[in-house]
Amino acid sequence: MEAINNVPVSLYKTLSDKLVSIILDSEDRDAVSADTTKKIIYLWRQDMLASPTGIEALVKAAIQVDSTAVVKVMDDLGLQELTVVVKNL
């Protein structure tokens, strides 16, 4: 996801936290695949959730849970380019 490279580093932690919240707040425990869950746990253990790789994994997982909430987070943070990408996935 090329648009993630345009996210200001200063927003990585905030964006990561908000995406994790969307995923964890899901009532549908099967919304995120086991492979994606394993990848997120691995990145978390490596302290890499607030990195481009981590954010990409979180965006993909959060979209599976609640794409509307993901779009709102992107809009709230002023990440219009990423919002467009998310809406087209």
User: Which DSSP string corresponds to the chain?
Assistant: -GGGGGS-GGGHHHHHHHHHHHHHT-S-TTSS-HHHHHHHHHHHHTT-TTSHHHHHHHHHHHHHHHHHHHHHHHHHTT-HHHHHHHHT-
Q: Structure pTM? A: 0.91
- Predicted local distance difference test score (pLDDT) of residue 87: 81
63 pLDDT above the threshold of 90? yes
Range of the structural domain that residue 38 is part of: 8-87
Residue in 74, 75, 83, 65 with CA at minimum distance from that of residue 28: 65
| pLDDT band, residue 30 (cuts 50/70/90) | confident
22 pLDDT above the threshold of 90? yes
In a domain, 83, yes or no: yes
In a domain, 1, yes or no: no
- Predicted local distance difference test score (pLDDT) of residue 72: 94
29 pLDDT above the threshold of 90? no
In a domain, 3, yes or no: no
- Predicted local distance difference test score (pLDDT) of residue 81: 86
| pLDDT band, residue 5 (cuts 50/70/90) | confident
- Predicted local distance difference test score (pLDDT) of residue 85: 83
In a domain, 43, yes or no: yes
Angle of helix 12-24 relative to helix 52-76, nearest 10 degrees? 80
Count of structural domains, the chain: 1
